[in-house]
Structures are given as C-alpha cells and as structure tokens.
C-alpha cells in the first residue's frame, strides 16, 4: 500500500490563512488591544481605569438620583444696589460696570429715591440714564427707609429729601433702605452688595446655593470669639418677601420705645441679625468679604480662617498677592480714613497706610495693593461717573468729626 506523504507545511499555511481571515472578521465587531498592550503588565490596570470611566459615564448619564448643577433662568436672579444720594449713586454705577465687565449673567437692579422720579439734578439724571442705557440696569424707585421712626401710627419710615452730589446724606439711619431688597418679588433671589467696594469677580455661583431665606457671611473683624461674630450685610443673598420689611420695621419701632435707644441706635445689621442669626446660611468670608484694613493688619488669622487651627496648613500662610487674587470683593474700611471718593492729604496717608511690618519706610506688597485699590477706585469714578474726588479735609478736624481725635 502506498502511503501518501502529508504536507505539514501546506496545512500550517492553511491554518494561518484561516485564523487571519477570522481576525479580520472579528476586528469589525469587537475591540482588540494593541499587541504591545496585550503583552504589557500595565494592561490590567489600564483596563480597570477605562472600566471605571465607563461606569462613571453610565452612572452620570442614566441615574436620576445624582446631583446635576441646574440650568438657571437668569432673568429670575439679580444683583442689587441702593442709593440715597448722588455720591452713592456713582458708587452703585461702578459696581454695575464691574458686573458687566466681569461677565455676570444675572439682572442688575438699582433701588433709588422715588423723589427722583419728579425732580433730580442734571448729574443725577445722567447717572441714572447711564446705568439704564449703558449697563442694562433696571431702575426701581422706592421710599427711603429711616431708623428715625417718630411713631408707629405715622409710619414715617422715609426721609423727605435724598441727598445730592454737593450735599450728600451722611445719615446712617438711611442705611436700612437696603432692606427694600426684600420687596423685589419679581426675582427668586437677589444678591445685594454694599457700594463702597471694589468688585474683583462676579458671584453668579452663589445663585446655585441651596434654598434659604438669606445667606450672609460673618463679620470676621468683630471683637470677641468667633461664636459671637454677627452676620454682616456687606453682602447678602435673599429670597424676596415683602413681609420681612414690615416685620423688621415693626421690630425697630419696638426697640425705639426703649428710653436708652438714642444712646445706641439700631441699623440694618442689627435688624438682620435679630431676624436671621439663628437661621441664615453662612457664607465663607474668605473670599467673599475682604477688607482693605486687612492689608494694614499684622495678624491675618481670622481672615485666613485658621483661628484655633494648625499653623502647618498652607492656607494659613498670609500672602498678600494670593489673598488679593482669590478675593471676590474688597470693602473700603480704614477708619478713620475717609472713604475712597474723598482724597487724602500727606498727614492722613502717613498715619493710616500699611506700615510694612513696622518698618514704615520704603514699600511692600501690602502697601502697593492697598494704595492701588484706592487709586483704581478714584480713576474709575472719574472715567465712569465723570466725577472728581472730594478734596481732602483737614485731618485733625476730620478725626474729631468721626470721634477718632478727641472732642469736637
């Protein structure tokens, strides 16, 4: 019997051709690791990473329970300012200009004296028109609230005449006019900012906070332990409710029945703390409420937020440039120095400016930033409002007038 010789080479060639064709077919239907990865020890780790990524992607796109930042209807949210005279109107205009320049998406609202709807000077009229036409500000005339309530029956909560540029109001009683922000019921939330500030970044992210009647930071510059620091109305995020204004004014009237009230008057911060101290959502003062006085301070522990903390925390180290970079706003607060729309003289500047760690010679970053803030405010006041700064007063007389230099 003749045995046919089997050609193993041909058979092996057929096998290679068969498996090659199958690999081509499979390549169209499934994923194959590159050869270098199939031989690599890192392949399992890479597979695990991709698996976790795919699982996360599936969870984010299919789960109804995970948190997703909601898309806001920005017409339901606003920043607000109030004004009682032409000086503060210019300050408000500077805030609105900053919000536009910084790209805020929310509305902008100005609460202004209703008397201006009947009669206003040319400068005031121009500033209101600029706010409305150039910066898209919605104008809301209001009665100015005053802490000088004469009787509950008269409801005399407003001053008869707002101030002007040449005769500004220096009456702290009118500061409670900011409570009118609760009357802006056309909005779901309103973020009210004081106007004697420089706004460095918009704060649109605050409109995403959980629902709460009000959110405010604490006055970290206060005396005493942190547990006693009051809330500050320098910045407040509110859910409008006109009943709040009525209730707080009634509270103020009850306080005024105290015979000793004239010795210690109550203002907006007193009313807001009385109403919301136990229920407000507390905003972090860093970075939302920085004071210019911080650049003059030698102790930064309260602002940095490591009071009773550990010194090795990198956030506990004072860096003036970093602190300024992260701050959302800076509030001008260098008592007894006048506000930034009033010029300095050499005597006041030498006494109040940052002393550069006690050296008080040359310069330092704290002094440069501090001076830069005042110079920038005055420049913008001139450019935006077309108003020059108020001439510097006599320093000794000024200190006496504000209670910092003995009796008048």
DSSP, collapsed to helix, strand or coil, labels residue 103 as coil
Indicate if 247 and 336 belong to the same structural domain: no
Indicate if 218 and 298 belong to the same structural domain: no
Cα 256 from Cα 264, distance rounded (Å): 10
pLDDT of residue 23 exceeding 90: no
- pLDDT band (50, 70, 90) for residue 221: very high
Last residue of a domain, one of 242, 257, 283: 283
CATH number assigned to the domain comprising residue 205: 3.90.550.10
Give the pLDDT confidence of 290-320 residue by residue, as tens digits.
999 999 999 998 999 877 666 677 778 899 9
Q: What pLDDT sits at residue 357? A: 84
Q: Percent of the chain at pLDDT above 70?
A: 76
Q: Where are the beta strands (DSSP E) in 158-204?
A: 189-193, 197-199
Average pLDDT over every residue of 370-388? 96
Query: At what angle are helices 242-256 and 268-276 packed, to 10 degrees?
Result: 110
Indicate if 267 and 342 belong to the same structural domain: no
Can you give the residue range of the structural domain that contains 98?
A: 71-283
Cα 231 from Cα 221, distance rounded (Å): 11
DSSP, collapsed to helix, strand or coil, labels residue 329 as strand
Indicate if 150 and 237 belong to the same structural domain: yes
Answer for the pair 304, 297: CB distance below 8 angstroms, yes or no: no
| Residues facing residue 231 across a β-bridge | 218
Answer for the pair 163, 85: CB distance below 8 angstroms, yes or no: yes
Higher pLDDT, 362 or 309: 362
Indicate if 207 and 137 belong to the same structural domain: yes
Residue in 399, 280, 304, 297 with CA at minimum distance from that of residue 353: 297
Indicate the number of domains in the chain.
Answer: 2
Whether residue 7 lies inside any domain: the answer is: no
Q: What pLDDT sits at residue 24? A: 57
Indicate if 219 and 303 belong to the same structural domain: no
Give the pLDDT confidence of 330-346 residue by residue, as tens digits.
999 999 999 999 999 99
Cis peptide preceding 287, ω within 30 of 0: yes
Cα 335 from Cα 328, distance rounded (Å): 22
Average pLDDT over every residue of 147-171? 52
Most confident of 7-16, 63-72, 338-347: 338-347
Q: What pLDDT sits at residue 62? A: 54
Average pLDDT over every residue of 90-115? 97
| Residues facing residue 82 across a β-bridge | 111
pLDDT of residue 11 exceeding 70: no
Residue 208 exposure: Cα atoms within 13 Å on the Cβ side: 10
Whether residue 150 lies inside any domain: the answer is: yes
Cα 127 from Cα 121, distance rounded (Å): 10
Indicate if 230 and 315 belong to the same structural domain: no
Which residues, 6 or more positions from 261, have their beta carbon under 8 angstroms from its beta carbon?
Answer: 255
Alpha carbon 123 to chain centroid distance?
29
Alpha carbon 369 to chain centroid distance?
19
Indicate if 149 and 93 belong to the same structural domain: yes
Indicate if 234 and 106 belong to the same structural domain: yes
Which residues, 6 or more positions from 165, have their beta carbon under 8 angstroms from its beta carbon?
Answer: 85, 86, 87, 121, 123, 124, 387
pLDDT of residue 28 exceeding 80: no
DSSP state of 341: T
């Amino acid at each position: 019997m003749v045995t046919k010789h089997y050609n193993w080479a041909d058979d092996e060639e057929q096998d290679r051709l068969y498996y090659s064709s199958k690999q081509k077919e499979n390549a169209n239907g499934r994923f194959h690791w590159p050869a270098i990865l199939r031989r690599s020890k890192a392949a399992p780790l890479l597979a695990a990473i991709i698996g976790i990524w795919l699982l996360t992607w599936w969870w984010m796109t299919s789960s109804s329970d995970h948190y997703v930042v909601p898309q806001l209807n920005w017409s339901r949210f606003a920043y607000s300012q109030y004004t009682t005279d032409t000086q503060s109107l210019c300050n408000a205009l500077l805030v609105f200009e900053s919000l536009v320049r910084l790209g805020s998406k929310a509305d902008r609202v100005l609460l202004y004296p209703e008397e201006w709807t009947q009669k206003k000077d040319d400068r005031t009229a121009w500033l209101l028109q600029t706010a409305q036409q150039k910066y898209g500000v919605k104008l809301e005339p209001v009665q100015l609230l005053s802490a000088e309530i004469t009787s509950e029956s008269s409801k005399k909560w407003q001053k008869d005449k707002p101030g002007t540029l040449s005769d500004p109001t220096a009456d702290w009683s009118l500061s409670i006019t900011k409570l009118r922000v609760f009357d802006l019921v056309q909005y779901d939330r309103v973020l009210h900012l004081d106007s004697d500030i420089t706004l460095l970044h918009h704060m649109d992210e605050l409109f995403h906070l959980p629902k709460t009647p009000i959110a405010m930071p604490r006055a970290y510059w206060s005396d005493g332990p942190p547990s006693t620091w009051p809330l500050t109305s320098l910045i407040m995020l509110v859910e409008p409710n006109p009943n709040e204004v009525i209730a707080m004014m009634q509270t103020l009237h009850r306080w005024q029945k105290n015979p000793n009230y004239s010795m210690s008057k109550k203002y907006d911060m007193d009313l807001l703390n009385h109403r919301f101290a136990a229920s407000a959502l507390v905003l972090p003062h860093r970075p939302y409420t920085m004071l210019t006085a911080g650049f003059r301070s030698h102790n930064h522990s309260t602002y940095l937020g490591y009071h009773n903390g550990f010194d090795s925390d990198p956030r506990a180290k004072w860096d003036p440039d970093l602190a300024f970079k992260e701050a959302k706003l800076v509030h001008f607060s260098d008592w007894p120095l006048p506000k930034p729309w009033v010029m300095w003289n050499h005597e006041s500047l030498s006494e109040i400016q940052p002393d550069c760690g006690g050296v008080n010679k040359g310069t330092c970053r704290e002094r440069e930033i501090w001076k830069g803030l005042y110079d920038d405010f005055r420049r913008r006041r001139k450019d935006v409002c077309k108003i020059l700064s108020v001439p510097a007063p006599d320093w000794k007389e000024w200190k006496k007038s504000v209670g910092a230099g003995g009796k008048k």
